[in-house]
Amino acid sequence: MGSSPTREKSELQVNGYTNPLGLSPTCNITLTVKKPFPKSYPLPKDKSLGAYLKRKRLNLKWTRLACARFFEVSIDTYRNWEWNWFTPSLNQKEKVNKFLGFNYWDDKNNSLSNRCLMYRIEYGLTQTQLAELIEVNSKTVIRMENNKLKISHESIKKFEKLLNFNTEQIIENN
């Protein structure tokens, strides 16, 4: 019997790995990427109150129930805050600020509407109580907080006195 010529098996060894086909590896690349946020984690660009509350809760590894107990509200109420269906009541806003570590409602522009809201939160006053305090109609306070600055100069003077605000700034914005 005749012997047929034997073929040598070609092998290639790269980094301790033997490739029986003798093919060289095409590349030796390691990809590194940032771990994506969990789907339940709000995106950083979301600046809504609900997103801030949820981010803080997840960072603390708290459940919604734990947050509801912290705020002394029902779990449904807390969930509605996170889902931006409702906003906290005036007496809860101070707790929300402490929980978040900053004043969510302060827009930092020192406007009359912002100063009015900050005053109410600080002293726990409703819009009606503030209106009675400075002797204006409660709708005036509502218009002011909603940046509808079509209010009388007399009312502006009353707010200025209470908030130590510069009238010239208010009139320029009107």
pLDDT one-digit tens code per residue, 64-94: 999 999 999 999 999 999 999 998 988 888 8
pLDDT at 174: 42
* Dist. CA 116–CA 92, nearest whole Å: 17
* Dist. CA 65–CA 84, nearest whole Å: 17
- Reported as a single tens digit per residue, the pLDDT across 15-59 is 666 666 655 556 666 777 776 666 678 878 888 999 999 999 999
Domain range list for the chain: 49-92, 112-173
54 three-state secondary structure:
helix
pLDDT at 173: 47
* Dist. CA 79–CA 65, nearest whole Å: 9
CATH architecture for segment(s) 112-173: Orthogonal Bundle (1.10)
pLDDT at 79: 94
* Dist. CA 115–CA 48, nearest whole Å: 20
- Count of all residues that appear for the chain in the document: 174
Which has more pLDDT, 126 or 36? 126
Q: What share of the chain is helix, strand, coil (3-state, %, to 5)?
A: 50, 5, 50
Do 112 and 170 contact (CB within 8 A), yes or no?
yes
pLDDT at 85: 94
Maximum separation of any 2 CA atoms in the chain, in Å: 121
